[in-house]
């Protein structure tokens, strides 16, 4: 804590921000029973609004830990005995979860899904469906471009993203490689929603944010704006 509160720490942070062209940064430290926070720079270069310890940031794929924790809460919940890390996903999502290979559909478990071992890529060499061995003959494609995001006129939801899995090619045998997949974490949110009859946003609010007193946290920036936190949201910068 002493170093965190020092001028040396401030200098180190601001130097790194200059080197990496970071407009704004908030840092919080929890050490034992002590907490401390600091903020540097601005949340928007356009408005020059100072960054504070209460500024809100889009944490992108760091939010995957919230998805994994949500599934783990169901695994530990006696109300959901069918949800285990070894449960095949198809047993819980039925016809929604169909991959382009029947053996994969039958075999992929929750553990595989959360640990990026399903054989479904984010962006890899996409192989002919009859050959699941990588070669130099194949073309590159991005599965992340196979759905419409939240800002689209007609965005996909977790269920529609899940149901589109049957149209996406696989690139490796199950559990043979770690291959990063955004889509499978969307499938995990669909699993949570299906098992709980709650939206993923409501589940996070009730089971994670409220117990941890994270009173300003939301799944999407739009929810933060609806709650009156719009002025605290940081802008994205390239």
Please check the confidence at residue 9 and state whether its pLDDT lies above 80. yes
Residue 116, both tokens: 């990026």
Q: Which pLDDT does position 142 carry in this prediction?
A: 74
State the fold for domain 62-204.
Beta-lactamase (3.40.710)
**pLDDT tens digits for 12-56?**
999 999 999 999 999 999 999 999 999 999 999 999 999 999 999
Let me know: does 106 contact 90? Beta carbons within 8 Å: yes
**pLDDT tens digits for 182-205?**
999 999 999 999 999 999 999 999
Q: Which pLDDT does position 124 carry in this prediction?
A: 52
Mean pLDDT of the residues in the chain: 90
The domain limits of the chain are 7-56+217-232, 62-204
**pLDDT tens digits for 106-158?**
999 999 999 999 999 886 554 444 444 444 434 455 787 777 677 777 888 99
Extended beta strands in the chain, E state: 24-31, 34-44, 49-50, 123-126, 139-142
């Amino acid at each position: 804590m002493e170093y965190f509160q020092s001028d040396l720490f401030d200098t180190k942070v601001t130097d790194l921000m200059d080197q990496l062209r970071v407009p704004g940064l908030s840092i919080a430290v929890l050490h034992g029973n002590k907490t401390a926070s600091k903020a540097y720079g601005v949340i928007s270069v356009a408005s020059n609004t100072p960054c504070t310890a209460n500024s809100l940031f889009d944490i992108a794929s760091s939010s995957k830990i919230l998805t994994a924790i949500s599934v783990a809460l169901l695994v530990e919940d006696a109300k959901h005995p069918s949800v285990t890390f070894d449960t095949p996903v198809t047993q819980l999502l039925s016809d929604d979860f169909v991959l382009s290979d029947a053996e994969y559909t039958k075999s992929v478990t929750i553990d595989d899904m959360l640990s990026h071992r399903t054989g479904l890529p984010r962006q890899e060499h996409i192989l002919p469906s009859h050959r699941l061995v990588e070669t130099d003959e194949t073309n590159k494609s991005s599965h992340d471009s196979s759905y419409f995001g939240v800002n689209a006129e007609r965005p996909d939801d977790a269920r529609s993203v899940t149901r589109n899995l049957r149209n996406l090619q696989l690139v490796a045998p199950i559990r043979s490689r770690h291959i990063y997949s955004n889509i499978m974490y969307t499938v995990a949110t669909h699993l949570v929603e299906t098992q709980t009859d709650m939206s993923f946003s409501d589940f996070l609010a009730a089971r994670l944010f409220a117990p941890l007193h994270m009173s300003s946290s939301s799944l999407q920036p739009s929810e933060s704006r609806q709650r009156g936190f719009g002025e605290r949201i940081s802008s994205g910068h390239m």
